[in-house]
Amino acid sequence: MTETATTAVREFKMPDVGEGLTEAEILKWYVQPGDTVTDGQVVCEVETAKAAVELPIPYDGVVHELRFPEGTTVDVGQVIITVDTGGGAGAAAAAAPAAAPAAAPAVAPAEPGAAPAAEEEEPQGRQPVLVGYGVAASSTKRRPRKQQPGGGGAQPAAAAAVQAELNGRAGAAPTAPVAPAAPVSATAPVSATAPVSPAAPGAGRPLAKPPVRKLAKDLGVDLAGVTPTGPGGVITREDVHAAAAPAPQAAPAADTAAAQAAPVAPAAPAAATGERETRVPVKGVRKATAQAMVASAFTAPHVTEFVTVDVTRTMKLVQELKQDPDLAGVRVNPLLMVAKAFLVAIRRNPEVNAAWDEANQEIVHKHYVNLGIAAATPRGLIVPNIKDAHAKTLPELAAALGELVTTAREGRTSPAAMQGGTVTITNVGVFGVDTGTPILNPGESAILAFGAIKLQPWVHKGKVKPRHVTTLALSFDHRLVDGELGSKVLADTAAVLERPKRLMTWS
């Protein structure tokens, strides 16, 4: 957060909402320009590679500007919203129309050391051409840019306004004046501005939209050495690609302007796919999950074992516990009993609760259990965990499990809740699946898949009877857990579910 020297408009930057995360996607804005906000009020919801998080504003005022629309991925440290804390000026600026004609007279430069007036009007009717986003009227009024000494105000007003809007910050140093290759008609559109030379050192920060800056960073291109072809000296995606892999073609200025003015669908595939395919960008939680699963599958040697067990007695116990006054208000279900049985099995076989330290070539035995519960959400698979689950009573475990599942479904799981897990349970039975071969959560030693509970013919006391039966599958890291240890953990878990009284005799 910074405060400009000449106005009461304060900037709120994208914080590091995770643990070392570098970017976040803006999912939803809860405020609009002109709205009044108070200290601690939630203004937007963002999604990182770990979770969705709500961001509160740290001061009182009136929303002056939203720097990025919903669905934009923003780097940590970039300004995402500005708020007028001076009382009224920001609201008036936000509510005023921001359109101005392209061929408007130049804005008079401010005297050195003088502050630009927040209420100074821009020419009306302007249609700013945003690179890669088509022609759209601005939803907020922006403050005129402060001219640097020696600038002389040679830049047209429309170009300066576009420059300020694309740069995303008021008061940034302007680039060198545009030098057209040929005389330009007075009625020529702003988008037909001729290419300008790369900014000389010290001439100011190169102008580019955040997605273009990220593209340049990914391709290893220095924006200071890129020749801009966009309106007002703005660097486009095409400029960055040309700098990374120079192409011999030179498109006419008119064609370049038309390409810039045409709307571009975000994340469009290179080849037209028609209506038979839809491409969805991989980002946020789903991207992080994919990377973690690939790393786990090709790092830890997985072994999976299965057991089918009669859980009829456990199902009867679940029904009895639902009527127990001591468990009133908490959710009692078969998953709770599976979690408790798994914890008992780990207590009887503590060596399974470990981690592999590749750097030090050590096995780290853990004397606590942070029990992860895999949860499928609209944004992808997440695995929050119950801290110190081994020390919780059955009512405490039930309350923690219910809170975890509810929070995950609402998309409010915090990054801290997904850190430090030791073992995990994945309940594939809710989808009617018998069992599976789950992949370990990175850094954990074991994961238990809990299949669907179904009435099946089963031999009970020498007779074939319909019984509630389910299949459990335990995947474990064979560097940490050998076959004997893994088999004991799975067998003990099944034994508790088959005869729940072992919860008392084995505890």
Strand 371-373 with 423-427, pairing = parallel
Q: Which helix (H) or strand (E) holds 303?
A: strand 302-310
Tokens at 338, concatenated: 């599976």
Q: Which helix (H) or strand (E) holds 181?
A: none
- List, by residue number, the catalytic residues: 478
Tokens at 484, concatenated: 């004997």
**Residue type at position 251:** A
Helix axes 237-244, 210-219, angle to 10 degrees: 10
Per-residue HEC secondary structure of 235-246 comes to ECHHHHHHHHCC
3 state DSSP class of 199 = coil
Of 2, 21, 12, give the one whose Cα is nearest residue 75: 21
C-alpha pair distances (Å), 466 with each of 270, 311, 454, 469: 57, 12, 9, 9
Tokens at 122, concatenated: 């821009």
C-alpha pair distances (Å), 271 with each of 241, 268, 387: 17, 8, 48
- Rounded Cα distance between 384 and 416, Å, is 8
Distance of CA 485 to the CA centre of its chain: 38
Of 41, 91, 83, give the one whose Cα is nearest residue 66: 83
Of 491, 486, 496, 487, give the one whose Cα is nearest residue 445: 486
Strand 2-3 with 73-75, pairing = unpaired
- Rounded Cα distance between 163 and 153, Å, is 13
